[in-house]
């Protein structure tokens, strides 16, 4: 579960490395996989699409807390991670490094290297 002030990894090739959550758009205090949050970039690589200090919307793709599915399975990751998106809910980067669960929308899943 992602709360305000959570430090998150960015797993796309937009140039950001770490982000800090400061707003959750879903109802409640915590965000789950597939929810949209607002983040501030804390560290970024030089010459990337984004710079440190900029604010973006992001979609949660990994959480340390287990996610229960209707089939009884649970999915859990070793880190909390997001993908940066624009106002049209399309990813800023062109590639996602890692596995993305089925609960994430298709247009983001199509950029990932694997789907679980």
Give the model confidence (pLDDT) of 10-36 as tens digits: 999 999 999 999 999 988 899 999 999
Tell me the residue ranges of DSSP E strands in 1-116: 7-10, 16-24, 36-44, 55-62, 67-68, 74-75, 81-85, 96-100, 112-115
- Which band of pLDDT confidence, cut at 50, 70 and 90, is reported for residue 107? confident
111/83 Cα distance (integer angstroms): 11
- How many structural domains compose the chain? 1
Is position 2 within any domain? Answer: no
What's the domain range around 103?
7-115
Q: What is the CATH number of the domain that holds 61?
A: 2.40.150.20
Q: Kindly state whether residue 40 falls inside one of the protein's structural domains.
A: yes
Nearest C-alpha neighbor of 42 from the set 24, 58, 65:
58
Residue 1 resides in a domain: no
14 assigned to some structural domain: yes
* Residue 38 lies inside a defined structural domain of this protein: yes
Cβ atoms of 9 and 77 closer than 8 Å: no
């Amino acid at each position: 579960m992602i709360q305000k002030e959570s430090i998150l990894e960015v797993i796309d090739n937009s140039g950001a490395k770490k982000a800090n959550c400061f707003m959750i758009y879903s109802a409640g205090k915590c965000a789950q996989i597939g929810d949209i949050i607002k983040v501030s970039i804390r560290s970024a690589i030089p010459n990337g699409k984004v710079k440190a200090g900029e604010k973006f919307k992001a979609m949660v793709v990994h959480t340390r807390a287990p996610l229960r599915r209707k089939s009884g399975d649970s999915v859990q990751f070793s880190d909390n991670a997001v993908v940066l998106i624009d106002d049209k809910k399309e990813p800023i980067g062109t590639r996602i490094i890692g596995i993305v669960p089925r609960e994430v929308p298709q247009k983001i899943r199509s950029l990932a290297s694997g789907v679980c």
